[in-house]
Amino acid sequence: MSQHKEETSGFVKIHLLALAIVVIAEFIGPWSIPMGIGTIMILPFLHCLWMGYLVGPKILKLVDNVDMEKASPLIIVSVWFLMARYGTLIGPTLATILGSSLALIAQEIGQLGAVFIALPVAMMLGLRREAIGCTNSVGRETNLGLIGDLYGMDSPEGLGAIGAYVTGTVFGTILFSILGNVFGTFTNFHPISLAMAAGTGSASMMTAASSTLSTFYPDLKSEILAFAAASNLLTGATGLYKQWLLQIPMTEAMYKKLVLLLDRNNKSQEARSE
């Protein structure tokens, strides 16, 4: 009983800290940094990352490892509200979205293109089986779960997937803010195409990319958010099967070719140096 009480009080501390961080982040508000021909938007939720690091064991020491373990599952619970709100963005615009359903489905397949870029780079950096785990992940729990199921969490592939998940959590929001900024300012892609692409990652990555994008197209704000949410929902519903039946077999086939190629190169280099 006393242990139960301790557990609850531990959560209260984390909630209070989150409360303080959220209120301060919203008080600071968005930063818009003019950069030559474009503007970089830093939305309030990005302030939470540096404030989180500030209260962490490296600096202010307000939270320890136990607290951090407790904070992780709360990320998922707080996403529930966000997903409900996103559903309410899709509902009123569903007719428009269904009219573009072909494009929505096609861009899901387009996402497979990532493997052709990321796998060779990962392997040239010296990664081997880990590369299969980390190039098959967009920072969603389902990616992690599937790799764990197929290869085991302790395998090199599992290590790659965990690394990718962590990378997605830490850098994904920042990266997708940058993508929303760069593509919104410097490219001629249609905002709806960019909105669909914003839905490819996790819920917070989608929010980062789509809300940054909508600051550049205030007139299209509701469409941008609705298309991002619809694309995210579609990835959530089909992503597991797409990854399992298409992406992983594709990655494995490419891996075999690349390993032969790279090893032959290494051998000829060794022969030359001898």
By CB under 8 A, what part of segment 194-223 binds other proteins? 194, 196-198, 200-201, 203-205, 207, 209, 211
- Kindly state the smallest distance separating residue 225's Cβ from other proteins, in Å: 7
How many Å apart are CA 137 and CA 107, to the nearest integer?
17
Do the Cβ atoms of 131 and 257 come closer than 8 Å? no
Pairing label, strands 31-35, 38-42: antiparallel
- Identity of the residue, 88 or 268, whose beta carbon is nearer to other proteins in the bound complex: 88
119-138 residues near other proteins, rule: CB under 8 A: 121-122, 125-127, 130-131, 134-138
Q: Which of 264, 233, 218, 243 lies closest to 111 in space, CA to CA? A: 243
Site track 243-272 with other proteins (rule: CB under 8 A), x = hit: ------------------------------
Q: Quick one: 35 or 62, whose CB is closer to other proteins?
A: 62
Closer Cβ to other proteins, 64 or 268, answer by number: 64
Report in angstroms how near the CB of residue 261 gets to other proteins at its nearest.
Answer: 17
Interface mask toward other proteins for 87-116; x: CB under 8 A: xxxxxx-x----xx-xxx-xxxxxxxxxxx
Q: Which stretch binds other proteins (CB under 8 A): 17-25, 31-39, 146-154, 258-266?
A: 17-25
Determine phi and psi for 227, rounding to 5 degrees.
Answer: -70, -40
The set of long-range contacts for 116-123, using a CB threshold of 8 Å and a minimum separation of 24, is 116/254, 119/251, 119/254, 119/255, 119/258, 120/258, 123/255, 123/258, 123/259, 123/262
- From residue 221, alpha-carbon distances to 38, 158, 201, 204 in Å are 19, 38, 19, 17
Closest of 126, 129, 182, 177 to residue 152, by C-alpha: 129
Task: Give the angle 227-230-235 at the CA atoms, nearest 5°.
Answer: 125
Smallest separation, CB 238 to other proteins (Å): 10
Q: Which of residues 50-89 bind other proteins (CB under 8 A)?
A: 50-53, 55-58, 63, 65, 67-69, 71-72, 74-75, 77-89
Q: Is 231 in the site for other proteins (CB under 8 A)?
A: yes
Which among 32-40, 146-154, 156-164, 257-265 is the span making contact with other proteins, rule CB under 8 A?
A: 156-164
Output the smallest distance, CB 253 to other proteins, in A: 17
Q: Which of 40, 42, 153, 175 is the binder for other proteins (CB under 8 A)?
A: 175
- Tokens for 59, please give them: 């600096």
